[in-house]
């Protein structure tokens, strides 16, 4: 949909696309300032490499220096954009967004970039993360309920309100930058933003740096992206990660760095699940390639939770590098046990357990010859509701596996995330409501073991780097608002406490 021009609507998303029960991804953001380059096409390519971070909607804003045109719609990047929609998007600066909704409903209204036009000036915003003080900010700003539809919408509203009146506008065209400096310190929670007006592309990372954001260089300009593969695909060179609490402003003069947050709020806490599951394996975070970190997780898991078996297999795709590591370290042959249907896109969350189970069948099919008669080690990245692993165990047994031993490359996921990864309430988290042996019975597997937190951080291999691990430990790096604690933190079962499974070999259960 063009917010400043004509309306374009992409084809409908398949209604039977079903989400699995891994921690569901955040969002992907991209920005480019490159005179002479086809910025809409570069943004399209960048968004394709960030598609795994959000499959509900996609959009981009493009400017030629005079106007901003926004095209966005529900669906995958390839649903929303084609040659026909990209051809008229001419300009030299652009931002893009792929969305998975963690606040606000999954509707076109919440597709991004968000656009506002305070006075004569227009700006667009894309957001990855979740604010934790949305209600307080809306209240402070005197907004009536329903004025904004998501935390990203609220931020755009606040920035718009911070623009100077037309007669006070500065002639240097830096009103967006000034409005950001005023608004950003009031925001709490997780936010990696890309923004643009008709002359600047801006990237911002929250003071904890929960979500990644990096800077790259092209032949004629500069690029911002959630993950480094979005730089690789357009031939951009990685320059560096944006620091927690840093704002990068790109314009015709190059880029400059600003620090709009008070120094005492800077406390790096990159989401550990970026390494475990969310980021692409070819991404670099904290200077480490994610694939290598996942492989080391498997190696350490083999040391921590050995088992006699005939074949090690990974649950595609994020479990595969760790399975290779487990196989190498244990000496048990690696093999493929499941084939993934690449076209069963993660677009809608199935509303019932039954539909989720069907979703697993659509996505994964066992290789019967490879698994029949074998004792299997099945390596996966996490257990949220347990639906996926339960269905996989049943599929593998039906295909003839004699034993199924599940190994997980993270500690039990017991606490909800408030920083942009959707897992539902505590009562939905299997590990918050069952002991490891109860989970083993529920999943119908012969043994179940989790990688300890210390080993996990060792596998990442970035000593001294700060991580958020709140969903594994209950230690939230920022204040969690009271409204979230109602329901979100409730649990139906006995809870052994936040430190229960941390590097505890007794957490390994054998059948
Ligand atoms: S709570 Fe978990 S998923 Fe959320 S940011 Fe922290 S580590 Fe990541």
pLDDT tens by residue, 52-96: 999 889 999 999 999 999 999 999 999 999 999 999 999 999 999
Residue nearest to atom 6 of ligand 1 (CA): 468
DSSP 260: -
Fold classified for 286-490+500-510: Rossmann fold (3.40.50)
Domain boundaries, the chain: 28-268, 286-490+500-510
Is residue 313 within 8 Å of 376, Cβ to Cβ? yes
Give CA–CA dist 69/3, Å, rounded: 7
Does residue 470's CB lie within 6 angstroms of at least one atom of ligand 1? yes
Does residue 384's CB lie within 6 angstroms of at least one atom of ligand 1? no
Domains 28-268 and 286-490+500-510 share a fold: no
Give pLDDT tens digits for 168-214.
666 788 999 999 999 999 999 999 999 999 999 999 999 999 999 99
Does residue 366's CB lie within 6 angstroms of at least one atom of ligand 1? no
Give me the helices (H) in 149-289, please.
151-162, 175-183, 229-232, 272-273
Write down the pLDDT at residue 489: 55
Fold classified for 28-268: 3.60.20
Annotated catalytic residues are: 27
**Residue 89: how many other CB atoms lie within 10 Å:** 23
Give distance in angstroms: CA of 90 to centre of ligand 1.
38
Write down the pLDDT at residue 168: 67
Element (H, E) at 49: helix 39-49
Does residue 364's CB lie within 6 angstroms of at least one atom of ligand 1? no
Give pLDDT tens digits for 204-222.
999 999 999 999 999 999 9
Relative to the CA of 423, which ligand 1 atom is closest?
A: 3
Closest CA to 207 of 482, 474, 468: 468
Write down the pLDDT at residue 348: 41
Give CA–CA dist 59/126, Å, rounded: 9
DSSP 6: -
Give CA–CA dist 60/77, Å, rounded: 10
Write down the pLDDT at residue 262: 97
Please tell me the pTM assigned to this model.
0.87
Give distance in angstroms: CA of 437 to centre of ligand 1.
25
Write down the pLDDT at residue 361: 74
Q: Which residues pair with 365 in a beta bridge?
A: 339
Relative to the CA of 273, which ligand 1 atom is closest?
A: 8
Write down the pLDDT at residue 108: 72
Ranges of the chain whose pLDDT falls below 70: 1-25, 101-107, 166-170, 344-359, 481-511
């Amino acid at each position: 949909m063009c917010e400043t021009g004509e309306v374009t609507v992409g084809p409908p998303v398949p209604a039977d696309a079903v989400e699995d029960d891994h921690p569901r991804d955040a969002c992907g953001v991209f920005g480019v300032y490159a005179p002479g380059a086809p910025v809409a096409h570069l943004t399209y390519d960048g968004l394709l490499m960030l598609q795994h971070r959000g499959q509900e909607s996609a959009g981009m804003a493009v400017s030629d220096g005079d106007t901003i045109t926004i095209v966005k719609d529900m669906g995958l990047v390839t649903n929303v954009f084609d040659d026909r929609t990209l051809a008229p998007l001419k300009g030299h600066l652009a931002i893009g967004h792929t969305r998975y909704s963690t606040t606000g409903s999954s509707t076109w209204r919440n597709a991004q970039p968000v656009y506002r036009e305070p006075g004569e000036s227009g700006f667009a915003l894309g957001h990855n993360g979740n604010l934790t003080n949305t209600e307080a900010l809306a209240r402070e700003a005197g907004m009536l309920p329903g004025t904004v539809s998501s935390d990203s919408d609220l931020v755009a509203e606040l920035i718009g309100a911070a623009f100077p009146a037309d007669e006070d506008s500065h002639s240097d065209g830096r009103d967006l930058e000034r409005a950001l400096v005023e608004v950003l310190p009031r925001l709490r929670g997780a936010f990696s933003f890309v923004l643009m007006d008709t002359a600047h592309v801006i990237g911002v990372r929250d003071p904890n740096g929960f979500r990644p954001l990096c800077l790259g260089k092209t032949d004629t300009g500069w690029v911002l992206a959630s993950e480094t593969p979005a730089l690789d695909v357009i031939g951009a060179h990685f320059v560096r990660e944006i620091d927690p609490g840093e704002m990068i402003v790109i314009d015709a003069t190059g880029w400059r760095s600003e620090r709009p947050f008070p120094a005492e709020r800077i406390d790096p806490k990159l989401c550990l699940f970026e390494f475990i599951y969310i980021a692409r394996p070819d991404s670099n975070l904290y200077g480490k390639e994610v694939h290598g970190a996942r492989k080391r997780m498997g190696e350490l898991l083999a040391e921590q939770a050995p088992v006699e078996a005939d074949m090690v297999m990974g649950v595609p795709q994020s479990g595969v590098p760790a399975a290779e590591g487990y196989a190498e370290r244990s000496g048990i042959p690696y093999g493929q046990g499941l084939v993934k249907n690449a076209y069963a896109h993660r677009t809608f969350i199935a509303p019932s357990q039954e539909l989720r189970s069907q979703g697993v069948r659509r996505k994964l099919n066992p290789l019967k010859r490879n698994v029949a008669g074998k004792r299997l080690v099945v390596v996966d990245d996490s257990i949220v509701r347990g639906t996926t692993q339960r269905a996989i165990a049943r599929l593998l047994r039906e295909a003839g596996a004699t034993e199924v031993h599940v190994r997980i490359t993270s500690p039990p996921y017991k606490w909800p995330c408030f920083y942009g990864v959707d897992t539902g309430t505590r009562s939905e988290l299997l590990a918050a409501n069952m002991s490891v042996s109860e989970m083993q019975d529920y999943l119908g597997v012969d043994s179940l073991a989790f990688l300890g937190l210390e080993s996990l951080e060792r596998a990442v291999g970035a000593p001294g780097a700060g991580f958020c691990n709140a969903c594994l430990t209950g230690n939230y790096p920022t204040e969690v608002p009271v409204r979230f604690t109602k329901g979100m933190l409730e649990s139906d079962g006995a809870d052994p406490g936040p430190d229960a499974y941390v590097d505890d070999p007794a957490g390994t259960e054998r059948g």
